[in-house]
Amino acid sequence: MLLPSAALQAILRADTAAPITFNLLSAAVLLSLSGHAQMALRGVWQLQKLVVSYCNWGGSSRGIRAFMESHLPDFKESNPQLEVVTELIRGQHPHLKGFYRNRNERVVSVKNMTPEDVLLHATRLRNALGRKVIKMRTRHVTKHPSVQGTWTTDVKF
């Protein structure tokens, strides 16, 4: 398993007594590589195909090219249910495109990101259910609304 930083490797070793710098991104990358916090619907992974689009010349694709060399082989190995395809698009900014079982797709721009950030976004696409995001009109959602009205703290007796 390839870990993105020396700090994460130090976390896995119990014999180190040195202070460890740890941030939220490192925790997310560690969780994604260790296999925890994975999501599937009824035991079936919803992401079918992940397309990694990049430019072999542009500076904004530097991080995704490094991701393809260092993290992508391990990501493919740890997700055998997922079809991962790389796509060369010259002169365009890099992006990740996920195709889900419910025929939805999500596109995430990874312009000027580090390889660890690209891995984080790929993991989020893998963990997502592929549902469309809907805006809720109220905070209180129910199938059977109350006849008396919604309870509030301003009720006077």
66 is written with which tokens? 């490094």
The larger pLDDT score, comparing residue 73 to residue 30, is at 73
pLDDT > 70 in the chain, percent: 74
Q: Does the pLDDT at position 110 exceed 80?
A: yes
The larger pLDDT score, comparing residue 124 to residue 12, is at 124
Summarize pLDDT for 48-106 with one digit per residue, the tens: 999 999 999 999 999 999 999 999 999 999 999 999 999 999 999 999 999 999 999 99
Chain centroid, CA 128 distance in Å: 7
pLDDT at 88: 97
Summarize pLDDT for 1-10 with one digit per residue, the tens: 444 455 445 5
Residue 84's identity, in one-letter code, is V
Q: Where are the alpha helices (DSSP H) in the chain?
A: 6-12, 24-34, 62-70, 72-78, 115-127
Distance (Å, whole) CA 106 – CA 131: 10
Is domain 43-131 classified as CATH 3.90.550.10?
A: no
Residue 84 contacts residue 76 (beta carbons within 8 Å): yes
The larger pLDDT score, comparing residue 13 to residue 16, is at 13
Domain-by-domain residue ranges, the chain?
43-131
Residue 32 contacts residue 73 (beta carbons within 8 Å): no
pLDDT band at 117 (very low <50, low <70, confident <90, very high): very high
Distance (Å, whole) CA 93 – CA 74: 24
pLDDT at 57: 94
pLDDT at 5: 53
